[in-house]
């Protein structure tokens, strides 16, 4: 590129330099700015540089001017994300099983570009190894895109579904049978990403791990099962299920000690009504009564009891008795 064209890009390069090399703790002098511009084959005079910075400020960028003795120093202090926000997002990416190792690295690299180079170096020191327990299906992002598009277009989707075998290999479920369902939502639950869909064959709402779906395509036929979802709010639906496993919807009354209030509220939300009687507390919640729900109750020990309905109490007793038989 000829020098004249470089000069025309001067303001963009100047903004890039301020973004990369300055922050609220790092200011650049006029000499430093002109030196960095010269590396990009842009020659600028001191007076012209002042005017260029004023133009960038007039456009809306928060370039702060301070004094270092008699000399002006400059820094771009306002960014799309604060440094603490960038760190927080990186922590979320590192902890997320849903994101593969490759996608995690790509996203972290993009986030680091939102900070100055000096800040990015500090962030890098806090990036730890995150390869364990990450998803391995790189097509998961295409799956998410296809599901979103199918919902927007009111179409069903076709896909194959994976499962682990004893060799720790992913193989097709049901000998590669094609699943055909009506997608209605994507839900994050227990560190996994699920598609909530209506299965016309069984006339049930079912949940599918997005990372275990492959060969996802949008079908030609329109979705069915709208009436099921008109009765069901997705946010409340996610509170009723445990581990995204289905079951019979039951209104369950729980009695528990004060020490478990936090666990109850964390699981069912702040909208539940808790009644106090002496040192005991009660609440009634709608849940999908599955083995995961009963296992959750079991994990809380003697400080909680299922009061009603009787069929759920009986099912819990049966599960516990069957478990005891295995250890006798």
pLDDT in tens, the chain (328 residues): 445 565 678 889 999 999 888 888 899 999 999 999 999 888 888 888 999 999 999 988 889 999 988 889 999 887 777 788 888 888 788 777 777 778 888 888 888 888 888 878 777 666 555 555 566 666 788 898 999 999 999 999 999 998 877 677 778 888 888 999 999 988 877 777 889 899 999 888 888 988 889 999 999 999 998 887 775 666 666 666 655 556 677 889 999 999 999 888 888 888 889 998 888 999 999 888 888 889 889 999 999 999 999 999 999 999 999 888 888 8
Query: Do both 319 and 259 map to the same domain?
Result: yes
Residue 241's closest CA among 197, 286, 191? 286
Residues 71 and 87 in one domain: no
Q: What is the C-alpha separation between 288 and 240, in angstroms, rounded?
A: 6
At 306, which CATH number?
Answer: 3.30.70
Do the domain assignments include residue 297? Answer: yes
Query: For residue 64, what are the domain limits?
Result: 3-76
Distance CA 159, CA 206 (A): 14
Whether 148 is covered by a domain: the verdict is no
Residue 321 burial by Cβ neighbours in a 10 Å radius (0-12, 13-18, 19+) = exposed
CATH code at 31? 1.10.10.10
**How far is Cα 184 from Cα 296, in angstroms, rounded to an integer?**
27
Instruction: Tell me, yes or no, whether 303 lies in a domain.
Output: yes
| Shared domain check, 282 and 313 | yes
Residue 305 lies in a domain: yes
- Kindly state whether residue 264 falls inside one of the protein's structural domains: yes
State the total domains in the chain. Answer: 4
CA distance 41 to 316: 75
Q: What is the pTM of this model?
A: 0.61
Which of 170, 201, 231 is the last residue before a domain boundary?
231
Residue 280 three-state SS: strand
Instruction: Give the closest residue to 162 by CA, choosing from 209, 98, 196.
Output: 209
One domain for residues 320 and 252: yes
């Amino acid at each position: 590129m000829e020098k004249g064209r470089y000069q025309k890009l001067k303001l963009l390069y100047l903004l890039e330099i301020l973004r990369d090399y300055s922050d609220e703790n790092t200011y650049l002098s006029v000499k430093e700015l002109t030196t960095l511009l010269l590396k990009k084959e842009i020659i600028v005079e001191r007076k012209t540089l002042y005017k260029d910075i004023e133009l960038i400020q007039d456009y809306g960028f928060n370039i702060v001017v301070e004094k270092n003795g008699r000399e002006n120093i400059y820094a771009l202090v306002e960014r799309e994300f604060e440094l603490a926000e960038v760190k927080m997002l990186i922590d979320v990416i590192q902890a997320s099983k849903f994101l593969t190792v490759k996608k995690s690295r790509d996203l972290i690299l993009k986030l680091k570009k939102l900070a100055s180079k000096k800040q990015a170096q500090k962030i890098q020191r806090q990036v730890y190894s995150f390869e364990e327990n990450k998803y391995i299906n790189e097509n998961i992002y295409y799956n998410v895109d296809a599901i979103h598009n199918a919902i927007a277009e009111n179409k069903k989707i076709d896909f194959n579904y994976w499962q682990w075998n004893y060799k720790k290999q992913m193989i097709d479920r049901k000998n590669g049978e094609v699943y055909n369902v009506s997608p209605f939502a994507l839900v994050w639950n227990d560190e996994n990403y699920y598609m909530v869909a209506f299965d016309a064959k069984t006339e049930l709402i079912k949940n599918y791990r997005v990372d275990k779906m492959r060969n996802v395509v949008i079908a030609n036929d329109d979705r069915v099962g709208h009436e099921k979802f008109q009765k069901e709010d997705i946010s409340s639906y996610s509170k009723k299920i445990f581990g995204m496993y289905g079951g019979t919807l039951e209104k369950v009354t729980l009695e528990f000690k004060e020490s478990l209030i936090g666990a109850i509220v964390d699981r069912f939300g702040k909208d539940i009504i808790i009644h106090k009687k002496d040192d005991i507390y009660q609440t009634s919640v709608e849940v999908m009564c599955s083995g995961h729900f009963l296992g959750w109750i079991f994990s809380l020990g003697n400080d909680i009891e299922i009061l009603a309905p009787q069929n759920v109490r009986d099912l819990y007793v049966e599960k516990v008795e069957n478990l005891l038989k295995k250890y006798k």
